[in-house]
Structure 1
Amino acid sequence: MEHISKYLTPEIKLSCYEDKFFKSEIVFDQHMLIWFISGETKIVQAEATHHFKTGDIFLIPRNKPATIINYPKDGLPHKTVVMLLTTKILRSFYNRLEVKTEIIPVPRIRSFHHHPLLESCLASLIPYFDLKDPFPDNLAFLKITEAISILRSIDPKIDSMLANFDDPHKVDLISFMEKNYMFNMPTEKFGYLTGRSLTTFKRDFKKAFNTTPQKWLTQNRLELAHYQLAERNKKPVDVCYETGFENLSHFSFAFKKQFGYPPTDLLEQKANSQYLT
């Protein structure tokens, strides 16, 4: 995979993927503001699937599980400007303000398609990526605070996300897992996002589901995969990456072990039955 990242600072980078696609399951530790120069991205979350393409600008909230699939498009690479709105910078920004807002426990992705102010702010960074000298930290701080100020001016409710510095609180384990099992994260991360230590998470999980996290996750991912193949007519490669499996060969092996036939057989059976009717 050809992946090139040019960093102005640890918070600002130009990211480029040349290959057919790149997929990862991730929970961002910081809010991430992204401007698309070229390519496409599919972001699968518990509540919805989002598609972004050239010109789109969107903000991904921290501590929110997601499957991210990046594609080149029209012969151009997947290329983005990425700006991290770190907790440190946001605390510094909001310390100067008196903000009273309702904190939203499950923030959603914010989309700002072709917004001129945000696009101008992020596009102004492009020439700096070719500089040989280090990018001044004070200028980077100014550009990030400019972006935060623009976000606040165009989205009055954005403070509910950006001004919330709390770690995840202890949440209902069954509800959380049933909404987020398709994300391929370490057990430690599931524990953190449910407000538990690893030991407490495993103990509570055993009590709730009477099995281990790995066995339960695999079973539920395979059942979801079977549903998407049989009822939604999705391709095995898409199902594989949207249900938390590492790669297509691992998915096919686990699927056949569980159901007695590979994913491709299920599609052929469905196609034949439709043909006969």
Structure 2
Amino acid sequence: MQNKLQNPSTEVVLACLEEKYLRNEVMLDDHCFVRIISGEVKIVSFETSQVFGPGDTMFFPRRQLSTIIQYPKDDQAYKCVLIILKTDRLKEYYSRHKAHETTGYLPTVKAYDKHPLLESYFASLLPYFELYEELPEELLALKTDEAITILRTIDKSIDTFLADFSERGKIDLADYMEKNFMFNMPLDKFSYLTGRSLTTFKRDFFKIYGMTPQRWLTERRLKLAHYLLSKNKQKPVEVYREAGFENLSHFSYAFKKQFGFAPKEYLKN
């Protein structure tokens, strides 16, 4: 088992990674409020790559695509506390509280500096993981309300996410693919995320790019890999993951076919 979960509820979770390394493409159905207890996590989105460690606190918006890489650090397993903010609970909360008016650009993952409200909140949760049964509903509702209130207190722009209950519709395919091509997902997942059936996705894609999605994805990922090798001097074992390839051997084969050198040879030259 790769991930061991201790749940005082399905909405408040202590996750512990038993393996040395775990990589997943993630798009959450609900917002997630996270505190890292030990280990490290690297989060790669279309706009940035960030590393978080013990004591760091983040907010993951729903329907945002990211690559999550979790691993031990300083001989300690990766462990974090997750607060899942369900849509029904958020709707109930905002029926009692007016949302702030927010404007401006918001990142895919929001990170927060240490704050007394955050420290006291997560410290209050840890004893719950010693329970053998789920949290009582009344207590769970209180702790969820507390999490939302703390987020709104330390981040005046968070209502842009929390109070948005709109459903996903058909979106700009080219813009989405340019931002998310590095995520290693099947085509039916890309089609769903752009609000299309697989058939419509392939048809719209060919109209825009004049080639199949598979061919375009390979070429676009190879360009990114070339950049990471030449500019950032990253190792092939790091590059293939960030560029969206399934495994190192497939990446090496495709890279050599495209550029005439294997990734290791290219890096040396």
Q: Normalised by the size of structure 1, how large is the TM-score? A: 0.90
Change (3 A) 1:103 1:212: farther
Contact 1:103/1:164 (8 A) holds in 2: no
Shift of 1:107: 4.8
Contact 2:102/2:156 (8 A) holds in 1: no
> Helix, strand or coil: the match of 2:33?
strand
Shift of 1:8: 1.7
Larger CA deviation: 96-105 vs 168-177: 96-105
Change (3 A) 1:95 1:135: same
Contact 2:100/2:156 (8 A) holds in 1: no
The superposition leaves residues 198-236 of structure 1 with CA deviations (integer Å, 9 ceiling, x where unpaired) of: 332222111101122122111111121112112220111
Aligned residue for 2:164?
164
Change (3 A) 1:137 1:248: farther
Larger CA deviation: 127-136 vs 23-32: 127-136
Aligned residue for 1:213?
213
Aligned residue for 1:274?
none
Larger CA deviation: 100-109 vs 32-41: 100-109
Unpaired segments of 5 or more residues in structure 1?
Answer: 270-277
Change (3 A) 1:134 1:63: closer
Change (3 A) 1:25 1:12: same
Q: Normalised by the size of structure 2, how large is the TM-score? A: 0.92
Shift of 1:38: 0.7
Number of matched pairs = 269
- What RMSD in Å do the two structures reach over aligned CA positions? 1.9
> Helix, strand or coil: the match of 1:9?
coil
Name the CA distance, whole Å, in 1 between partners of 2:123 and 2:248: 37
The one-letter code of the counterpart of 2:219 is Q
The one-letter code of the counterpart of 2:35 is W
Shift of 1:146: 0.6
Residue 243 in structure 1 maps to residue 243 in structure 2: yes
The one-letter code of the counterpart of 1:57 is T
Aligned residue for 1:181?
181
Unpaired segments of 5 or more residues in structure 2?
Answer: none
Name the CA distance, whole Å, in 2 between partners of 1:147 and 1:166: 22
The one-letter code of the counterpart of 1:21 is Y
Larger CA deviation: 229-238 vs 115-124: 115-124
Name the CA distance, whole Å, in 2 between partners of 1:15 and 1:126: 12
